[in-house]
Amino acid sequence: MGGGSLKKYVQYIKPYAAYYFTGPLFMIVEVVGDIMLPWLLARIINVGVMNHDIGYIVRTGIMMVIIAVFMAVGGVGGAFFAARAAMNTGTDLRMALFEKIQKFSFKNIDDFSTGSLVTRLTNDITQIQNMIMQTLRTCLRSPGILIGAVIMAFVMSPGLAMILIVVIPVIVCVVAVIMKLAFPRFDRMQTKLDNLNSCIQEMLVNIRVIKSFVRGEYEEAKFDSRNEQLCESTVRAMRTVIVMAPAMALIMNMAIVAVMWKGGNMIIAGHMPVGNLTAFINYMTQILSSLTMLSMVFLNSTRAVASLKRIDEVMQADIDLTDDAAAMKDKKVLCGDVEFKNVFFRYYKNSEEWVLDNISFHLKSGQKMGIIGSTGCGKSTLVSLIARLYDADSGSVLIDGTDVREYSLKNLRDGVGMVLQNNVLFSGDIADNLRWGDADATDEQIRQAASAAQADEFVNDFADGYAAQLGQGGCNVSGGQKQRLCIARALLKKPKILILDDSTSAVDTATERKINAALEEQLAGCTTITVSQRISSIMHADVILVMDNGRVIDMGTHEQLLAGCTLYREIYDLQTNS
Ligand SMILES: Nc1ncnc2c1ncn2[C@@H]1O[C@H](COP(=O)(O)OP(=O)(O)OP(=O)(O)O)[C@@H](O)[C@H]1O
């Protein structure tokens, strides 16, 4: 990550600049105290003890207690403001990341995988928050103590301080080597965490399928392997970190031994008072702890930089489906006229086969169209292009004569109601779920829409009716009930174009007929596109598209197709046993 790309993250710091300044300022109190205490101790020994001056010892002792109290206040204040700065910046950054992901196209989401996005939104942001907090607490304190202690060490004894000139560069080199080793290891650790999160997510979302196929053991083995991989990579990363503290302690302890030996000789020779050696050793310990703290900050920043890099990847991702270039952002879908002109589409841009191969048709406002064809022939893909869930690779999709790319995504999708094959509901009550279609819908409107979708009856069977709580993904209603609630939700939107993609597959034929009759009544003037494997679901449409292998092989009314389209005739014969 270059400096340029880091610059844009300053905006998440700016609103909390006061916390960023106040936190380290409080820590200065601690620095001053840390530097003063060993000096005062030296004074107690050199003046108070040597001269048997109890009064001096008590006065200096009281001063040391007062300094310690100030230090405690400074420490608490510093920690408080550092925490505020870190938490607020992290929260804003997480929000910005979430907003960016909300704008992602399906392809963008597929590129990152949901598990990885979850890790980036949670663990990676936490790493950055920890780094900010630690940095603010130590950015003035550790260098302050380091500089102050080195100066005081020279004041106490320039001769002994020469040992520091050798020791400090050695420590800096050790830290640099450890950091260089640690960075790629932390990067790999986060990737392993991604893999584990993806596995957990897939397993929890599909727990019912796993149980019904008795795949528990397989999933357990998969989880175990990824968990082990994460453990291994964490241990590898931590191994580099844990050598840091002992290595530093070893170097500094050797230095202290050298100081004791040289200092002892100096005291015996009468070149230095005893108190100065005590203070010098205190300052050496401070130098050790500030260097350890600084190196831990550097190490954690290595981890946070790896996380920031991963967050930046999401922030920088090109969203391949936007309405930035839309020329008619204010235009709304008013009539519901749908036209496909020589549309070609494929999911993988390097694949040779088209998923949609030269599709052309014109559906006038208010007409009903049915789409039928073998599984995987491209029916769902075709309808997803109408609401711009994907963009055509060539050719154009027109609504009311205007290319869908010229509408704002909001206006376009407001005009198109979709009941997808795998539509889901959300946790919350039934009424709230239906209000996704129209946030201002009255209870009566909700009931009417549910009634048209043949959902009113079973909703009223729940003890709480429309206030009944749905589980995550609508897990506590049956497949057919879920489909009917999804249709009601789409109806409340009062769309100009309604797409029903196999949305009554789990509903019995008699109920489906009632739904169709109610839709006829409620959606007069609305263009309807019904995708289905069942001829009975689409036979009354004004026009039926027969698809095979990404192409429209025939088009016409039920009677025309029965007479002229072999594939349609075959499906009809199979389904009616005639
Ligand atoms: N998100 C995706 N990424 C890659 N390929 C996809 C994706 N969705 C569908 N496909 C592929 O595109 C082709 C058309 O799929 P589509 O879902 O449009 O078929 P369909 O006719 O609606 O099938 P069905 O009747 O089974 O629902 C299939 O070969 C499918 O594997």
Residues of the chain scoring pLDDT < 50:
none
Other C-beta atoms closer than 10 Å to the C-beta of 105 total 18
- Rounded distance from Cα 224 to ligand 1 centre (Å): 32
Question: Cβ(380) to ligand 1 under 6 A?
Answer: yes
Distance CA 509, CA 444 (A): 27
ipTM exceeding 0.90? yes
The encoded tokens of residue 202 equal 């897939």
Question: Cβ(138) to ligand 1 under 6 A?
Answer: no
Other C-beta atoms closer than 10 Å to the C-beta of 134 total 19
Length of the chain as a residue count: 578
Ramachandran assignment for 272, one of left (phi > 0), alpha (psi -120 to 50 degrees), beta (any other): beta
pLDDT at residue 57, rounded to an integer: 92
The atom number, within ligand 1, closest to the CA of 373 reads 21
pLDDT at residue 2, rounded to an integer: 53
pLDDT at residue 433, rounded to an integer: 87
pLDDT at residue 464, rounded to an integer: 86
pLDDT at residue 554, rounded to an integer: 92
Strand locations in 424-525, DSSP E?
428-429, 469-470, 497-501
Task: Please give the C-alpha separations between residue 25 and each of 14, 98, 128, 277, 460, in angstroms, as whole numbers.
Answer: 17, 33, 21, 31, 63
DSSP 56-100: HHHHHHHHHHHHHHHHHHHHHHHHHHHHHHHHHHHHHHHHHHHHH
Question: Cβ(375) to ligand 1 under 6 A?
Answer: yes
- Rounded distance from Cα 378 to ligand 1 centre (Å): 6
477: amino acid identity, one letter: V
The atom number, within ligand 1, closest to the CA of 348 reads 4
Residue pair 546/563 in contact by the 8 Å Cβ criterion: no
The encoded tokens of residue 62 equal 């009281």
DSSP for residue 328: B
Residue pair 372/544 in contact by the 8 Å Cβ criterion: yes
∠ CA(458), CA(462), CA(465), 5° rounding?
90
Question: Cβ(355) to ligand 1 under 6 A?
Answer: yes
Residues 6 or more apart in contact with residue 161 via CB below 8 angstroms = 150, 153, 154
pTM above 0.80, yes or no: no
Query: H or E element: which one contains 361?
Result: strand 356-363
Distance CA 516, CA 503 (A): 12
Distance CA 152, CA 366 (A): 88
Chain position carrying tokens 């700016």: 14
pLDDT at residue 4, rounded to an integer: 54
125: amino acid identity, one letter: I
- Rounded distance from Cα 377 to ligand 1 centre (Å): 7
Question: Cβ(532) to ligand 1 under 6 A?
Answer: no
pLDDT at residue 381, rounded to an integer: 93
Question: Cβ(378) to ligand 1 under 6 A?
Answer: yes
For CA atoms 505, 511, 516, 520, give the dihedral sign. Answer: negative
Domains of the chain in sequence order? 3-315 (1.20.1560.10), 331-415+496-508+529-578 (3.40.50.300), 423-494 (3.40.50.300)
Closest by Cα among 457, 441, 385 to 418: 385
The encoded tokens of residue 444 equal 């009566």
In this structure, the strands spanning 394-399 and 356-363 are unpaired
Question: Cβ(381) to ligand 1 under 6 A?
Answer: yes
The atom number, within ligand 1, closest to the CA of 106 reads 1
Closest by Cα among 110, 548, 544 to 317: 110
Task: Please give the C-alpha separations between residue 343 and each of 340, 357, 546, 555, in angstroms, as whole numbers.
Answer: 6, 7, 16, 16
pLDDT at residue 569, rounded to an integer: 92
Question: Cβ(392) to ligand 1 under 6 A?
Answer: no
- Rounded distance from Cα 543 to ligand 1 centre (Å): 23
pLDDT in tens, 114-134: 778 888 899 899 999 999 998
The atom number, within ligand 1, closest to the CA of 533 reads 25
Nearest CA to ligand 1 atom 7: 347
The atom number, within ligand 1, closest to the CA of 382 reads 18
pLDDT at residue 370, rounded to an integer: 94
Query: H or E element: which one contains 154?
Result: helix 141-156
Distance CA 73, CA 69 (A): 6
Distance CA 416, CA 332 (A): 10
**Would you call 515 helix, strand, or coil by DSSP?**
helix
Distance CA 384, CA 355 (A): 12
Quote the distance between the C-alpha of residue 107 and its chain's center. Answer: 16
Question: Cβ(376) to ligand 1 under 6 A?
Answer: yes
The encoded tokens of residue 48 equal 């108070």
397 φ, ψ (degrees, to nearest 5): -110, 120
The encoded tokens of residue 300 equal 């954690």
